[in-house]
Chain A
Amino acid sequence: MKKKVLLAPLDPVHDIGLKMIKRGLEQNGHDTLLMPPDYSQEEIIKAIVDNDVDVVLISRTLGYGVAEILGKFIDLAEAAGIRDKVKIGIGGMAIRPELAAELGFDAGFGPGTTVEEAVAFVEGREYVPSESGIKQNKKDITQGYDYSFRNKRIEKLLDTIVDGILDYTSNKTSTAILRAELRRQILDSTDESEKQKLRQEYARYCDDVVKSFYEAGKYREKTRPLTKDEVKALRGYVDDVNFRMNPIKLQHTDKNPAVFIQYGTGCPFMDIAHIKSCEAWGADGVVHFDPSWGARTEGFLEGYITHEEDGSIITYENLKSIKESLAPYTLWQVRAHRGLNTPETVLLAGKIGADLTKINIAYGSLSGGTDPSRLTVDAVAAIKYAAEFGMPFDVVTNEELSGVPAFKAFAGMLIVSKLGLRLGGKPILQPLFCYSPEVMINGQMVDNYVDFNAAKIYCLRNIVNAPIWCGAPIGFLTQTEDRVQSSMMTALHASLASSLGVDAISIASSDEAFSKGPITAASRIDTLRATQASFRFFGHADITPTENAKKWAAEMEEGIEKVLEAVAKKGNFVDALYQGLLGSREDGAYPGRAGRNTVISKS
């Protein structure tokens, strides 16, 4: 029903909010009358009477004397006999709903009130927030991509290389693959004595530090089991926090990518506390970081275990407690891109219900410390698990941070992606948005941080129709220890990624460049806030790279093709890794040694 609404700023100057509401009311078919600022209470009451309005909306921005002024306004309304006939709402920076109710207003609207809320009040209906402002569903990063190759020459080379990888791994296995199979049996068994036997067998394939855990209950140094009281308290904490969750949405437009944060404080409970804080401040997804020593250790521990150093220990129980703490709309990734436990990591992630994992043989073996042959064999098994559990995986290219040029890192990424497709998986390309050694040396970022990053996206889009998730984290090596500069660098890279139409980004905290202590929850919120502000700032507007971006993209594509030709010609992907075709010692990449000579021949 059409209403006649008087809008009056009970304030010397401020009436912007009322102007916005006036527009909203008129768009909804109501008649409005906006009074200028700086009118007295008496003058406003007179205008209400003279114009015979149905609803009055008063605004008050200044906090000084607010209760007295508004109390007097209500008294005057009652004295004029309009209080029962006219609905009166009050809003503005100085207003809180409790104060409005106490003073006798029909409604109070504090900072952050939307025009829709005010319109609902005028129309006498309950305010239902628009769906665009509410998190509801998990984003499927791979949706809409068919993985068709635009560069057919590259596709053909990749197929040749993938044939070689599958042939190489067909008669090989490893202790990691055997452990993953045993872990599956342990998880599936309901018979405790059978589980014990399986654990004993599992321990046979582990390093001594893990073996001593299963055989003698010993914990590695700087780790301890979390107590029953702590586990119980965690459940209460998560329940209470979930009850009061009302998460912010970071995205301002549909083109803004999903935003992931990375956690791995060492303690799964501190991780959960950080995750819940990040969910509240708008993170769409979270990425599990394991300790670096975990990647060099054969076998996983069991139970709720905390750790005093970076990286949170992977156990079934730790991962399960993290999974159970997540909001239903939060994407969860467990990394399996390096190390001696990749198949079991993906198995655990899949069994527990992770949405995503991370696998890259080239990065894991050239900059992640794992032997190329071992990781190739393990990664094929890991990708098969990812496919079985329907978990897309990103193929990270962090070898760039060791000095490997982007075109070589991308060649490795494309090989693993094609391998993933062949095995039924859904790979996600993960180019770095970073200030890499390559550009430091060659000068592509002397002028700006835009062009070379844009070139990477143009190049990949020219090659294949696949999802892109910029990592990890975006802006790496551009951030300093100053939280303002750090947050701003993250936010600008986020908007660049958005402008280039990517599907997801991983962001750092504002502690990214601080290395003397653990990352804090507050520093995580800094960059989420900055990213939200940057998305708001650019909206659908784009960032325009210079001509260099297209030129460098073409050079990159040419470089990738040459690398793939060399790898295909070599005839053996693993040999190509050892010999530096996908990143050489001169570049700064060294084939990993963890797990060397541990591949087992099935024959």
Chain B
Amino acid sequence: MPDILEKVMDAVDVETYLVCKDEEEAERLSVELMEKLGFQDISIVFIQHQGPGARVRVRGYIYKPGDKYSWLFDQRK
């Protein structure tokens, strides 16, 4: 994981508009997008297809509750 992601409190949301034919394709593309960006723990938060494409919000969790958060230890550096 790059250091910069350790500064994320919990998750990174990627919001965009995907050109695709239906919601199923949008879901597949959303996951592919996040994987390409290097996220591992991926959730589709919102997806809605209308006409030309889909409005999507996809989340990559960096930390979940109970993990060891790097930012907790970084403050005084």
Residues of chain A having any CB pair with chain B under 8 Å: 222, 224, 229-230, 233-234, 236-237, 240-241, 265-267, 269-270, 273-274, 277, 306-308, 480-483, 511, 514, 516-518, 520-522
Q: In the complex, which of the residues B61, B65, B66, B72 has the most CB atoms of chain A within 10 Å of its own CB atom?
A: B65
A269 to B64, CA, bound (A): 11
> Are A233 and B65 CB-contacts (below 8 A) given A520-B10, A521-B9?
no
Residues of chain A contacted by B67 (CB below 8 angstroms): 267
How far is B46's CA from A230's CA once the two chains are assembled, in angstroms? 34
Contact check: which of B13, B45, B65, B73 meets A306 at CB < 8 Å?
B65
How far apart sit A483 and B71, CA to CA, in the bound complex (Å)?
26
B46-77 toward A: CB 8 Å interface, digit per residue (1/0)?
Answer: 10100000010101010111111101110110
CB distance from B69 to the nearest CB of A (A): 7
Given contacts A230-B68, A236-B76, contact A522 B13 (CB under 8 A): yes
> If A277-B9, A520-B13 touch, does A270 touch B76 (CB 8 Å cutoff)?
no
B10 and A236 contacting across the interface, CB-CB below 8 Å: no
Interface membership of B11, Cβ < 8 A: yes
* Residue numbers in A under 8 Å from B16 (CB-CB): none
Say which residue of A236, A482, A522 sits within 8 Å of B75 (CB atoms): A236
A518 and B64 contacting across the interface, CB-CB below 8 Å: yes
Q: Is B43 in contact with chain A by the CB < 8 A criterion? A: yes
A-B pairs with beta carbons under 8 Å apart, 5 shown: A230-B68, A269-B69, A306-B66, A480-B46, A481-B46
Are A482 and B46 interface neighbours, CB within 8 A?
Answer: yes
The residue on A at minimum CB distance from B15 is: A483
A582 to chain B, nearest CB (A): 35
Return A573 CB to nearest CB of chain B, in Å.
38
- In the complex the two chains form, is A233's CB within 8 Å of B72's CB? yes
A240 and B77 alpha carbons, distance in the complex (Å)? 11
Expressed in whole angstroms, the Cα–Cα distance for A517 and B48 within the complex equals: 19
Chain A residue at minimum C-beta to C-beta distance from B75: A240
Cα-based distance from A224 to B69 in the complex (angstroms): 15
Q: A486: nearest residue on chain B (CB-CB)?
A: B46
> What CA separation (Å) do A520 and B48 show in the bound complex?
21
A517 and B63 in contact (CB under 8 A), knowing A240-B76, A482-B46, A482-B48? no
Residues of B within 8 A of A483 (CB): 45-46, 57
Given A236-B75, A236-B76, A522-B11, 20 more pairs with CB closer than 8 A:
A229-B73, A237-B75, A240-B76, A270-B65, A273-B71, A277-B9, A306-B65, A306-B66, A480-B46, A481-B46, A483-B57, A514-B46, A516-B45, A517-B59, A517-B64, A518-B10, A518-B11, A520-B11, A520-B13, A522-B9
User: When the two chains form the complex, which single residue of A240, A241, A308, A521 contacts B66, counting CB atoms closer than 8 Å?
Assistant: A308
Complex Cα gap A224–B64 (Å)? 14
Which of A482, A516, A520 interacts with B9 by CB under 8 Å? A520
Q: What's the least CB distance linking A166 to chain B, in Å?
A: 41
- Contact between chains at B72 and A265 (CB < 8 Å): no
> Which residues of chain A have C-beta atoms less than 8 A from B61's C-beta?
517-518
Question: Would you give the shortest CB distance from B37 to chain A, in whole angstroms?
Answer: 17
A482 to B13, CA, bound (A): 12
- Indicate if the CB atoms of B10 and A521 lie closer than 8 Å: yes
- Residues of chain B in range 6-41 having any CB-CB distance to chain A below 8 Å: 9-11, 13
Interface centre among B9, B13, B67 (most CB of A within 10 A): B9
Complex interface: chain B residues within 8 A of A267 (CB): 65-67
Known contacts A236-B75, A240-B76; decide if A307 and B65 are in contact (CB<8 Å). Answer: yes
What 4 A-B pairs come out closest when comparing CB atoms? A267-B65, A266-B65, A265-B65, A481-B46
B54 smallest CB distance to A (angstroms):
12
The answer on a CB contact under 8 Å between A308 and B10 is no
Taking CB atoms, residues of chain B closer than 8 Å to A307 are: 65-66
Q: Which residue of B is nearest A238, CB measured?
A: B75
- Contact indicator B73/A273 (Cβ below 8 Å): no
Residues of A within 8 A of B73 (CB): 229, 233
Minimum Cβ distance to chain A for residue B8 (Å): 9
Q: Chain A residues near B65 (CB, 8 Å)?
A: 265-267, 270, 306-308, 518
Q: Which residues of B contact A230 (CB under 8 A)?
A: 68, 72
CA distance A483 to B67 in the complex (A): 26
Closest residue of chain A to B57 (Cβ to Cβ) is A483
